[in-house]
DNA sequence: TTCGAAACATGATTTAGATCATAATTTGCA
DNA sequence: TGCAAATTATGATCTAAATCATGTTTCGAA
């Protein structure tokens, strides 16, 4: 589904400022959210306040469908990482889109499959693997999405929040991985090396 | 998609004996598997041999689509838990089904959304919550699928393999949960009580 | 009905990573 | 460009759960 098409169909754009809350756990889903510009993060928060990043969504992507489709309360908070233009699409309109927009249904199926793949991979890591392995897996996964020579723009805290580790542990393990030559770090930044070791 | 329809359309049924391997990590997906009868488990295995149960699939369900849809190698082993009749449906036929079978597309979207929901819940648990909380969450999730008064038919090892814990930890924590009255245990079996505390 | 294998149980010890404390860098923005 | 806030860094201690060891109980097949 093209965002431009949505706008032409008359859907309203809503602006969320940085750190604005889009929805929170316990709310019943009423919309699917399409991102015209900006970025949001989806996080769950444990009883003692620790965040886990369930996903990051960027321009052109949409989020919030699973809870709406199966009609269950949200599990996560979704928060704007920066000022973002979001198009909320109501339940009925969303199902209309699925039925009437050619290719949207298969696009949704692929999107869900991709997320499922990522979550299966992370579940295996969190259930069974030690800190070093977890970090290497996530780092290689993230490196896949950037150009050779570029660096990851995530903080150690972000990596901690994606792996369920603590920031001190991430800092220590990154040093170890770097020392072993398993990742390349320049001035604190993790770089995508010329030859990517892992094609995930 | 109705299994009976598949059979009428001439798809062959393959029988897997108990503990037979259906696919393993690294293989490129060629089929989606529909279960006519029986049960399979999908597990990932860590470097040191520890299993994690990614999912259990039963009669009438299908599995293996995400990897096929996004065309990536399988991450998990899929193994018959008991003798099972399985209908492998090739890539092309599967996409034909999506396009031509009324309701199949939306059924697939719902199925994927449900699995995503479960995996998001488990990721939060594995990333942030302690053994007791993890176990209580999974137990309540599983209790939802059985009748009041019935008992869970999973072993402590199964619970360990679903939560990333060790069997000794599961045994000890179940005693604690039972002692606190948070779960009901009779002769070693976890029972679904009259009033279910948690509707997840 | 018995016998061997699963499953459940429990104590002792170890350990990976959390937690706590404190400081050095880096960043962005006033 | 100066300075507070964010990020990175590092050592010391603590702890939840893993690991190891060794039963006991339950179950299913012969």
The number of residues in chain B equals 200
Residue given tokens 């059979």 in the structure block:
B7
pLDDT at A1: 61
Question: Quick check: A52 and A43 in contact, CB under 8 A?
Answer: yes
Q: Which residue of A has its CA nearest to B98?
A: A106
Is any atom of nucleic acid chain C found less than 7 Å from the CB of residue B177?
A: no
Strand C reaches within 7 A of the A92 CB: no
Is A114 within 8 Å of B70 when comparing Cβ atoms? yes
Q: What is the pLDDT of residues A18-52, one digit of tens each?
A: 889 999 999 999 999 999 999 999 999 998 889 99
Percentage of the residues of chain A whose pLDDT score is greater than 70 = 96
CA distance B158 to B192: 18
CB distance A104 to A35 below 8 Å: no
Backbone angles phi, psi at A28, to 5 degrees: -85, 135
Per-residue pLDDT for B196 more than 60? no
CB-based contact B69:A113 (threshold 8 Å): yes
Dump pLDDT digits (tens) for A115-162: 999 999 999 999 999 999 999 999 999 999 998 989 999 999 999 999
The CATH number fitting domain A3-120, selected from 3.40.640.10, 3.30.2350.10, 2.60.120.10, 2.40.37.10 = 2.60.120.10
Question: Is B154 a residue whose pLDDT tops 70?
Answer: yes
Q: Which residue has the tokens 């045994």?
A: B171
Residues belonging to chain A with any Cβ–Cβ distance to chain B shorter than 8 Å:
44, 46-47, 50, 52, 54, 65-67, 69-70, 72, 75-76, 98, 105-106, 108-110, 112-117, 119-124, 126-129, 133, 163-164
pLDDT tens digits for range A82-123? 899 999 999 999 999 998 888 899 999 999 999 999 999 999
Q: What is the dihedral of CA A98, A26, A39, A191, to 10 degrees?
A: -110
Paired tokens of B35: 């279960």
Q: Are A134 and A126 in contact (CB under 8 A)?
A: yes
- Select the CATH number that applies to the domain covering B3-118 from these four: 2.160.20.10, 3.40.50.720, 2.60.120.10, 3.40.50.10490: 2.60.120.10
The Cβ of residue A168 has, within 10 Å, a number of other Cβ atoms equal to 10
CA distances to B1, B30, B35, B79 from B83, in Å = 22, 22, 11, 10
Look at residues B97, B91, B88, B79 and name the one whose alpha carbon lies nearest to residue B38.
Answer: B79
pLDDT for position B158: 97
Q: Report residue B109 as tokens.
A: 């979207």
Distance, first Cα to last Cα, chain B: 27
Chain-chain contact of B44 with A120 (C-beta, under 8 angstroms) = yes
Gap from B18 CA to C2 C1', Å: 27
Instruction: Tell me the shortest Cα–Cα distance from A176 to chain B, in angstroms.
Output: 19
User: pLDDT value at position A130?
Assistant: 96
What token pair was written down for B136? 């209580």
As a residue count, chain A comes to 200
Largest Cα–Cα separation, chain B: 55
pLDDT at B9: 80
Helices (H), B9-166: 65-70, 91-100, 104-128, 131-143, 156-163
**Cα gap B9→A164, rounded to integer Å:** 47
Distance between CA atoms of residues B32 and A43, nearest Å: 32
Nearest-nucleotide field for A169 (CA, C1'): C17
Residue B47: predicted pLDDT: 81
- Predicted local confidence at residue A103, as pLDDT: 87
Q: How far is it, in rounded angstroms, from Cα A51 to Cα A155?
A: 14
Taking the CA atoms of residue B133, residue B139, residue B141 and residue B146 in that order, the dihedral angle to the nearest 10 degrees is: -160
Which positions on chain D have an atom < 7 Å from some protein CB?
6-12, 16-21, 26-27
Among residues B57, B56, B10, the alpha carbon closest in space to that of B34 is found at B57
Whether CATH 1.10.10.10 fits B129-191: yes
**What are residue A165's DSSP bridge partners?**
none
**How many alpha carbons lie under 13 Å from residue B23 in its C-beta half-sphere?**
21
Over residues B141-166, mean pLDDT:
94
In contact, A50 and B128? CB cutoff 8 Å: yes
Residues of A71-109 as b/e, b for ≥16 C-beta within 10 angstroms?
ebebbbbbbbeeebbbbbbeeeebbebbeebeebbeebb
CA dist list (Å): A67 to A42, A107, B90:
13, 18, 30
Domain extents in chain B: 3-118, 129-191
Q: With CB atoms and an 8 Å threshold, state whether A66 touches B108.
A: no
Bridge pairing between strands B31-37 and B84-90 = antiparallel
Average pLDDT taken over every residue of chain B: 92
Q: What is the pLDDT of residue B1?
A: 60
**Residue A9 per-residue DSSP state:** T
What confidence tens digit (pLDDT) does each residue in B78-97 have?
999 989 999 999 999 999 99
What is the pLDDT at residue B4? 72
**Residue B199 above 50 pLDDT?**
no
pLDDT at A200: 36
- Structure confidence at residue B166 (pLDDT): 97
* Residue A105 to residue B109, Cβ atoms within 8 A: yes
Average pLDDT estimate for A160-177: 97
Six token digits for residue A128: 């069974």
D9 closest protein residue (CA to C1')? A171
Distances (CA, A) of B41 to B54, B75, B111, B165: 8, 13, 17, 18
pLDDT at B195: 66
pLDDT, residue B7, reads: 74
């Amino acid at each position: 589904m093209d965002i431009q098409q949505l706008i032409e169909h008359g859907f309203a754009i809503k602006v969320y400022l940085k750190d604005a809350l889009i929805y929170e756990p316990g709310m019943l889903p009423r919309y699917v959210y399409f991102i015209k510009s900006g970025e949001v993060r989806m996080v769950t928060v444990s009883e003692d306040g620790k965040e886990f990043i369930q996903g990051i969504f960027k321009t052109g992507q949409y989020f919030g469908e699973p809870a709406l489709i199966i009609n269950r309360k949200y599990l996560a908070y979704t928060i704007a990482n920066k000022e973002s233009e979001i198009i909320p699409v109501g339940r009925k309109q969303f199902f209309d889109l699925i039925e009437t927009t050619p290719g949207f249904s298969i696009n949704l199926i692929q999107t869900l499959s991709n997320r499922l793949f990522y979550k299966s991979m992370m579940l295996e890591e969190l259930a069974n693997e030690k800190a070093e392995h977890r970090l290497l897996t996530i780092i290689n996964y993230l490196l896949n999405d950037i150009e050779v020579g570029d660096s990851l723009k995530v903080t150690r805290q972000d990596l901690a929040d994606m792996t369920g580790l603590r920031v001190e542990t991430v800092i220590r393990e990154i040093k170890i991985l770097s020392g072993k030559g398993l990742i390349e770090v320049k001035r604190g930044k993790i770089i995508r090396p010329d030859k990517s070791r892992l094609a995930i």
